């Protein structure tokens, strides 16, 4: 009996490990997907700031082009100065030139505002690009870490499954059936250790005499409360 209980205890630990791996198999891909989303969000943000910068540069060029046009108009008007014959024409030309100059002054101011904005944005962008590069690298490292764990899980899964198959043939068949039945009913745990006179499955105290018997590990004893098979695994930290 002692050997059967020991084999079954090993099997229970393996079953719990396999159960954990199954939980991780479900969780890890979701975590990676979340990190992917975080990465594209960061990239999208910097992309939008760059687009804003490009549109400001474009605006600046358009204004500069417009400015050149207005300056040309002044030159043309000034060229016509020599051709004017009346004072009225002369005054008209002067006021035309004056209005071009007003426009130029306004556009020059607008260009300065845009240039300020461009400078500010460039400063922000260069800082943000550095920050984002660090963030992206961190996310990348997290992803690599998870992928490594996933690969590790598969290796462990294969090893433990092989051992499980062997144990399944070694444990006495009635005990094995009882264990599987309990495991199905009790959240994957059919066999539990007892510590400090307490069942570690339901955390209810077992009677003192039963506790003494359990510590011998040579008979099939079940928790009076949760019905699980009890096992003595020492009083230490290991479960
Ligand atoms: Zn119990």
Domains and CATH numbers, the chain: 26-170 (1.10.287.1490), 174-231 (no CATH)
Q: Are 136 and 35 in contact (CB under 8 A)?
A: no
How does pLDDT run across 135-161, given as a tens digit for each residue?
999 999 999 999 999 999 999 999 999
pLDDT > 50? residue 167: yes
* 53: Cβ contacts below 8 Å, ≥ 6 apart: 118, 121, 122, 125
CB atoms near residue 148 (< 10 Å): 10
Residue 234: band (very low, low, confident or very high) from pLDDT cuts 50, 70, 90: confident
pLDDT > 90? residue 235: no
pLDDT > 70? residue 237: no
Ligand 1: centre distance to CA 191 (Å) = 9
pLDDT > 70? residue 238: no
What DSSP state is assigned to residue 40? Answer: H
Which residues have CB less than 5 Å away from ligand 1 (the ion)? 199, 201-202, 223, 225-226
Ligand 1: centre distance to CA 236 (Å) = 19
> What is residue 236's predicted lDDT score, i.e. its pLDDT?
60
Q: Are 70 and 104 in contact (CB under 8 A)?
A: yes
- The pLDDT mean for the chain works out to 95
Ligand 1: centre distance to CA 2 (Å) = 20
> Could you give the CA distance from residue 57 to residue 119 in angstroms, rounded to a whole number?
11
Candidates 190, 196, 237, 230; CA nearest to 214 is 230
Ligand 1: centre distance to CA 11 (Å) = 19
Model confidence, pTM? 0.75
SS3 (DSSP) at 231: strand
Residue 205: band (very low, low, confident or very high) from pLDDT cuts 50, 70, 90: very high
> Could you give the CA distance from residue 118 to residue 125 in angstroms, rounded to a whole number?
10
Ligand 1: centre distance to CA 12 (Å) = 15
* Helices and strands of the chain, counted as H and E runs: 4, 3
How does pLDDT run across 32-43, given as a tens digit for each residue?
999 999 999 999
């Amino acid at each position: 009996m002692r050997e059967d209980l020991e084999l079954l205890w090993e099997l229970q630990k393996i079953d719990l490990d396999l159960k954990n791996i199954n939980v991780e198999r479900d969780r890890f891909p979701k975590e990676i997907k979340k990190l992917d989303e975080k990465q594209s969000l960061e990239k999208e943000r910097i992309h939008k700031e760059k687009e804003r910068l490009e549109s400001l540069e474009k605006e600046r060029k358009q204004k500069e082009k417009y400015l050149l046009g207005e300056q040309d108009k002044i030159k043309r008007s000034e060229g016509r100065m020599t051709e004017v014959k009346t004072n009225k024409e002369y005054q008209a030309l002067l006021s035309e030139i004056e209005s071009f100059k007003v426009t130029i002054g306004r556009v020059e101011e607008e260009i300065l505002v845009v240039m300020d904005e461009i400078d500010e944005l460039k400063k922000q962008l260069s800082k943000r690009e550095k920050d984002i590069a660090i963030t992206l690298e961190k996310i990348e490292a997290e992803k690599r870490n998870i992928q490594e764990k996933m690969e590790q899980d598969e290796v462990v899964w294969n090893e433990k499954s092989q051992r499980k198959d062997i144990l399944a043939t070694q444990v006495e068949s009635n005990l094995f059936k009882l264990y599987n039945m309990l495991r199905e009913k009790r959240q994957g745990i059919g066999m539990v250790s007892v510590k400090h006179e307490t069942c570690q499955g339901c955390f209810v105290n077992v009677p003192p005499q039963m506790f003494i018997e359990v510590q011998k590990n040579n008979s099939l004893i079940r928790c009076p409360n949760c019905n699980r098979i009890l096992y003595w695994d020492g009083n230490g930290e290991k479960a």
